[in-house]
Amino acid sequence: MPVIDVAKFDLERLVGLRFEEIVKLLEYVKCEIEEDVGERVRLEVTHDRPDHFSAEGLARTLKGVAGVETGLPVVSLTTSSVKLVADYIEERPYISMAVVRDVALDDEAIRQLIQLQEKLHETYGRGRRKIAIGFYDVSKIKPPIRYTRVSRDDEYTPLGFTSPIPIREMYEKTEQGRKYSQLINRENPPALVDAAGQIMVVVPVLGSECCKITEKTRAVLIDVTGTDLQAVSNAMSVLIYALIERGRSKEVEIVEGGNTYVHRYTRIKVSKEDVENLLGMRMRQEEFERYLGKARLGYEAGEAVAPPYRINMLSWVDVAEEVAIVLGYNNLPLETPPIFTAGRRHKTEIFTEELRKTLLAMGFAEVNNYVLTSGVVTTFCKPATVLNPISELYDTVRCSIIPQLIATAALTRRKEVKLFEVGDVVREGRTRRTLTLLISREGATLTDGLSVVKTLCRLHGLTCEIGPTAAEWALPNRSAAVRGDVEGYVAEVNPQILISLGYTVPTVVAELFVD
């Protein structure tokens, strides 16, 4: 879950309540305090609410739950006097810009905007590959602005620097340059350049000192570039509404010339009766509409209306969830489940527990990894991938536990490592329970793995037959199949595979399907 850092006084200022009162409201918005350190607090928020990645959006939601400010947040759109001339940039073809004026920024407000920017970069932006965001002081820019390519030899003053340097040096001298310049054409990177020739930012790497926002800034230009137009628009919505919380005006200027931002409200057909049946409660129509207002939703002619920044609102079930959140899950009526049988442990769980006890007695250490992992698992099997992953570290549903055990062994720095994990994997569209074990030491061979498997079979009264098999990731002629009451294999991992995973110690693994 994303964790945000906010100042207590700032949250109090935005919400209009004392922090002690705010704490009581946090559970209603599925937000937990991870750490309370004096004047600041670290809050764990849900990944499906990017508007909660900074104090502004969280405060807007809390005001609704508390009844301080309810109903659909409304902004008015006008055309900005700032113009954009956008070239076609192959690696980042989409760009949108907007201007929010009459903002009041202090050090904490700027800190929150930067936090929001970076949280969006790392989550919805896929580490800036999908979207990248910039903030600029309008008073320091001479329009029109060009979205174009520049040369690596062109100079500008990167954020944090006091004098201009060539862009090629920025690639090496800054953390952002080393991390993100690989996403673009390094010879002719995309950039925003104003009419005075100032390079405002090298997209999506690093902005310039020339036009950064400060406490004196009263008009903020937002730009979002990316590879997906809908993602660009979604991010812009979150940013616009966050900045509005810092200003005195509800007016937003849309910059023409790029992919014009679409300010779209989501309309969802929903009936009070469906929500009642799902939540197991009854309410009057006026109560239903009041709950929607506290959730910062509108209601018109049988439809709930969600603001543009609520990118997680997809169906009437999401509307029902908002009602439940506002009411408080603990305040929903309790019902006895219509189940007339006694619960008992599944035989697979019982068998799993017995195997765990045996391996622990044999000196193995147990590991528990996430079911979601990275694409490195493709070395061992063909996995299912997540269509819209929250992070590149968790973009694959594991089909084998072996690479996770190898990664753990690489962290232990011991001469001998014996690990195991009993967990679920997905093979060929089916969820399977597997026991995976690893033995790693100098001189470890197939015989070591077979010895453990045979011992497990003997102690648990299982019929296990050993036969020949082969695997692309295993050493030739150093793998064996297990058949009988349990199925699987034992193999010595090819050293080249181990090296690719950052490990160099001889390793034998076994994977048994125990379901």
Instruction: List the domain boundaries for the chain.
Output: 3-66, 76-256, 266-331, 347-513
8 A C-beta contact, residue 55 and residue 5: no
Cα angle vertex 264, ends 260, 269, to 5°? 160
Q: Which residues contact 132 (CB under 8 A, 6 or more apart)?
A: 92, 121, 125, 203, 204, 224, 225, 226
How much of the chain, in percent, has pLDDT values that exceed 90? 75
Q: In CATH terms, are 3-66 and 266-331 the same topology?
A: yes
- How confident is the model over 417-440, as pLDDT tens digits? 999 999 999 988 889 999 999 999
Topology of domain 76-256, per CATH?
Answer: Phenylalanyl-tRNA Synthetase; Chain B, domain 3 (3.50.40)
Topology at the third CATH level for domain 266-331: Phenylalanyl-tRNA Synthetase; Chain B, domain 1 (3.30.56)
What was the pLDDT predicted at 379?
82
**86, pLDDT greater than 80:** yes
Which pLDDT belongs to residue 310?
Answer: 94
Asked whether residue 1 carries a pLDDT value surpassing 90, the answer given is no
Residue 156: pLDDT band with limits 50, 70, 90: very high
Picking from 107-121, 231-245, 247-261, which range would have the lowest pLDDT averaged per residue? 247-261
Secondary structure of residue 165 in the 3-state scheme: strand
Q: CA–CA separation, 124 vs 131, rounded Å?
A: 8
Asked whether the whole model's pTM tops 0.75, one would answer no
Just give the CATH number of 347-513.
Answer: 3.30.930.10
CATH architecture of the domain with residue range 3-66? 2-Layer Sandwich (3.30)
Q: Which residue has the tokens 């543009």?
A: 308
Q: What single string gives the DSSP state of each residue in 182-250?
A: GGS-SSS-EEEE-TT--EEEETTTEEBGGG---TT--EEEEEEEES-HHHHHHHHHHHHHHHHTTBS--
Per residue in 382-419, pLDDT (tens digit) is 888 888 887 778 888 999 999 899 989 988 878 899 99
Neighbours of 375 (CB within 10 A): 12
